[in-house]
């Protein structure tokens, strides 16, 4: 039985499995005893793979926290920039899983409506293990968006996901004829940006220890801003 004034200590053993790389530099947007939120640049994978053995967020995490296992709570594509939350222990990872509210910002081609919802099932393209497509036999996928800015070529959308399918934002906007700028995998042009123009700009979650609501924000990166800037000023919708 636990009595008032008792102190409970959890002994959470951990092992690190990734090669540390201290030459990388990823800004930390928020940190406490349970987690760390990185502001990942575009072009950096979250996890190591065959082609990326030492240049990932996981490798940088292993350098900063050599005693901890890398546990990514939300996973971003290599070329998607923005906030990525890493739990520092198994308990925090379990409590955070599926409970993070994310806001994305996407620069898409053309002029989209002021707001809208894309409700279209997503499946794996039969010929590919990477590419996804909208298909009737896919899993239900729902994307809500609001247009914030527009230029003569692009619209900037604030995006909220009701579901979390692989490549959901990229597939859905391509499906409505407005692929992400730079996303040549789904029909976007790379005339003005060399990656898909997608950024995770806000994360909200309950602190695993205190239950307190925490919101972390990240500024839109320069390469996406540049799609809407004219003389240093942003277009208005």
Q: What is the set of active-site residues?
A: 77
State the alpha helices, DSSP H only, in the chain.
57-64, 90-96, 168-175, 222-225
Give the Cα separation of 56 and 72 in Å (integer). Answer: 12
**DSSP state for residue 226 in the 8-state scheme:** G
């Amino acid at each position: 039985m636990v009595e008032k004034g008792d102190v409970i200590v959890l002994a959470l053993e951990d092992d690190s499995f990734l090669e540390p790389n201290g030459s990388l530099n990823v800004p930390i947007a928020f940190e406490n005893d349970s987690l760390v939120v990185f502001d990942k640049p575009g072009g950096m994978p979250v996890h190591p793979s065959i082609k990326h053995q030492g240049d990932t967020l996981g490798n940088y995490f292993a350098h900063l926290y050599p005693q901890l296992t890398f546990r990514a709570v939300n996973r971003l594509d290599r070329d998607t920039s923005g906030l990525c939350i890493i739990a520092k222990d198994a308990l925090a990872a379990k409590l955070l899983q599926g409970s993070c509210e994310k806001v994305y910002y996407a620069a898409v081609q053309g002029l989209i409506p002021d707001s809208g919802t894309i409700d279209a099932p997503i499946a794996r393209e039969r010929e590919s293990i990477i590419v996804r497509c909208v298909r009737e036999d896919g899993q239900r996928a729902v994307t809500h968006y609001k247009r914030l800015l527009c230029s003569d070529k692009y619209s900037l959308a604030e995006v909220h996901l009701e579901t979390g399918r692989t490549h959901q934002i990229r597939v859905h906007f391509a499906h409505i004829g407005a692929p992400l700028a730079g996303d040549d995998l789904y029909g976007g042009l790379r005339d003005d940006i060399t990656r898909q123009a997608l950024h995770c700009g806000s994360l909200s979650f309950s602190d695993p220890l205190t239950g307190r609501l925490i919101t972390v924000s990240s500024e839109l990166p320069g390469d996406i801003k540049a799609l809407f800037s004219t003389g240093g000023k942003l277009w208005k919708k």
